Amino acid sequence: MDDVEVGQADIAVVPAEFDGPVVLLDVREDDEWQRGHVAGAQHIPMGDVPARIAEIDPDAELYVICHAGGRSLRVANYLARNGYTPINVEGGMLAWAGAGRAVVTDSGQPGTV
């Protein structure tokens, strides 16, 4: 199956806050999420996306992120084939943290990538 063209976003153009019409979908595994994630992000591990796709707002401005950008690109391609218009975050959480953006834990404490 041919991959559709998925948008790529440099961390500099990715919004810093997420709510309502702008969604950051974090597709990392549970242990990665627990160590640290973006406040307000939606968490669905990559392997769970097909079963949980209905939880993802098809009308949202949708950014997809993982640790370094590989898994999120695969998920973005999958979502694009299913009617979404996702944007892959180049460099993933490594780029997010590298840009000095906040990483938190579920308790709101500073997290790690």
Residue 91 near residue 83 (C-beta atoms within 8 A): no
Domain tally, the chain? 1
Among this protein's residues, is 66 annotated catalytic?
Answer: yes
Q: What is the CATH number of the domain that holds 90?
A: 3.40.250.10
Residue 104 lies inside a defined structural domain of this protein: no
pLDDT of residue 1 exceeding 50: no
Q: pLDDT tens for residues 36-88?
A: 999 999 999 999 999 999 999 999 999 999 999 999 999 999 999 999 999 99
pLDDT of residue 3 exceeding 60: no
Report d(CA 111, CA 6) in Å as an integer. Answer: 29
**Which tokens sit at 61?**
């401005």
Residue 113 lies inside a defined structural domain of this protein: no
The type of residue at 94 is L
What is the extent of the structural domain holding 56? 7-98
Q: b/e for 34-71, b at 16 or more Cβ within 10 A? A: eebbbbebbbbbbeebeeeeeebeeebebbbbbbebeb
Q: Which residues contact 101 (CB under 8 A, 6 or more apart)?
A: 11, 16, 38
| Residue in 14, 66, 95, 97 annotated catalytic | 66
